[in-house]
Amino acid sequence: MWIAVSGQVPGSGHVERGIPCQDRADSWVGVRPGLMVLDGRGSAALSHVGAAAARETLRSFISDSEPLLAQVLDTPDEALAAVGWQGLARMMFHAAACKQLMLAEWYQTDAGSFEFTLTLAIVGVRRLGWFAVGDSPLVIGRHGVTALATGIESHEFANQTSFVTASPSSRLGMQGGLVPLDGVRAIIAMTDGTASRMVKLCDQTPATAVSQISERFATRQWDETDLIAVLEDPAWDEITRDDRSLAILARDLPYPPLSAEAAVREACIGDAPTASGTSHPAMGRGSKRAFLKVLSRDHRIRPSASSQ
C-alpha cells in the first residue's frame, strides 16, 4: 500500500511582497498512485494560476488515460513501455502547455504569464514513469539507496532554467524515464526552494534526512500536518526565502536495516564531518524537531523554538 502526502508553503520573500505561493504539490493513491510538483516562474505575474490549473489538468489527464498507462507501466514488454512512456510524457507536457494558452485567452494576456516547472511520477504494476521540466528534483528510494532520478538545474536567476511553456522548443528541456518498481519504497518530488537545503548541488545527492522523512510517513509516525510544520519552520529563512513544497509517495512496508553497502552510501549523503571532526548522527524516532536537527547539521538550518 502507498501513502501519499504533499504540501506547499509560501516563502517569506513572497509573503513580504504580497505575492501568492507559486508552488503546487500533489500526491495521490488509488488505481494509479502518483505525485507532482509545479513551481511558477518567479517573474511571471500569474504563474501561480498556471501551476494550479496545470495540476488539475494533469490529474484529469492521468485519470482519463488509465488504459494507456496500463499498457506502459504494467506491461512486461520493456521496449514497448519505453516508447509508450515517451509518447505519454509528451502528451502530458502538451496538455499542460495548452492550458497556458487557454488561460492566456481567458485572462487576455500573454501565455508566458503562466509558466512553471514541472516534475511528475506515476506508479504502475511493474515500473514507475517520470518526467521533469526545470529544476525540481525527483528522488527515489530503492533497494535501501536514496538517489536523484533527475538532474538539477540551478539557474533561474540567469534565465537558464527550463519551464513548461507554449513554445514548441520548450519541450527540449524535458527529461524522463522508467524505473522498475521492484525495491522502490519512496518517491519524493520537491521544488527548488526545498531542494536548496535537501539536495547537495555539488554532487547532486539527497540529504540523509530525505529518506528518513519518507520513512516517517511510511510508518505512519507523521501526517500532512507534520510536513507543513517542517516546511513552515522559520529556520528556512536563513537559507532560502523562496516558496517550498514537497510531495511524497511512501510504501507502507517494513523498512529493513540497510545493507552494509547502502549504509555507507547513506552515511555519505549530507553527513560530511563537522568542523570539530565529528560525524552527524542519524535521525532517531521522535518529534519534528529531531528531523529539523538533522537537517540543520546537514545543511545549516537551525531548529526553531516553534518546532518543539
The per-residue DSSP string of 169-210 comes to: GGGGGEEEEEEE-TTEEEEEEE-HHHHHHHEETTTTEE-HHH
Average pLDDT value for residue range 54-63: 97
Task: Output the average pLDDT for the chain.
Answer: 82
What is the reported pLDDT for 175? Answer: 92
* Separation in Å, CA 178 to CA 4, 43, 273, 293: 20, 32, 35, 34
- Per residue in 171-206, pLDDT (tens digit) is 778 999 999 999 999 999 999 999 988 888 777 789
Contact in structure between 256 and 222 (CB atoms under 8 Å): no
> Coil, strand or helix: which one is 244?
strand
Give me the percent of the chain exceeding a pLDDT of 90.
59
Contact in structure between 209 and 295 (CB atoms under 8 Å): yes
Output the pTM of the full model.
Answer: 0.82
Phi then psi for residue 155, to 5 deg, are -135, 25
- Per residue in 156-179, pLDDT (tens digit) is 443 467 899 988 777 778 999 999
User: Any residues with CB less than 8 A from the CB of 252 and at least 6 apart, and which?
Assistant: 1, 2, 3, 218, 220
What is the reported pLDDT for 301? Answer: 34
Residue 256, pLDDT > 90, answer: no
Residue 277, pLDDT > 80, answer: no
How are beta strands 2-9 and 23-28 bridged, if at all?
A: unpaired
CA dihedral angle for residue 32, residue 137, residue 242, residue 230, rounded to 10 degrees: 60
- Per residue in 132-147, pLDDT (tens digit) is 999 899 999 999 899 9
* Bridge partners (DSSP) listed for residue 38: 24, 118
* Separation in Å, CA 120 to CA 50, 259, 283: 16, 29, 28
What is the reported pLDDT for 271? Answer: 33
What is the reported pLDDT for 185? Answer: 94
Average pLDDT value for residue range 237-251: 93
- Per residue in 200-227, pLDDT (tens digit) is 877 778 988 888 889 899 988 888 999 9
- Per residue in 71-126, pLDDT (tens digit) is 999 999 999 999 999 999 999 999 999 999 999 999 999 999 999 999 999 999 99
User: Any residues with CB less than 8 A from the CB of 307 and at least 6 apart, and which?
Assistant: 229, 230, 233, 235, 287, 288, 289, 292
Helix 288-299 / helix 224-232 crossing angle, nearest 10 deg: 40
What is the reported pLDDT for 152? Answer: 54
> Which DSSP symbol is given to 19?
P
What is the reported pLDDT for 288? Answer: 52
Phi-psi region of 212 (alpha: psi -120 to 50; beta: other; left: phi over 0): alpha
Residue 263, pLDDT > 90, answer: no
Which range (50-54, 237-241, 298-302) has the least confidence? Answer: 298-302
How are beta strands 205-206 and 174-180 bridged, if at all?
A: unpaired
Residue 285, pLDDT > 50, answer: no
**Cβ neighbours of 244 (radius 10 Å):** 29
User: Any residues with CB less than 8 A from the CB of 201 and at least 6 apart, and which?
Assistant: 152, 154
Residue 36, pLDDT > 70, answer: yes
User: Any residues with CB less than 8 A from the CB of 104 and at least 6 apart, and which?
Assistant: 110, 111, 113, 114, 166
* Check whether domain 2-260 has CATH 3.90.79.10, yes or no: no
How are beta strands 184-190 and 2-9 bridged, if at all?
A: unpaired
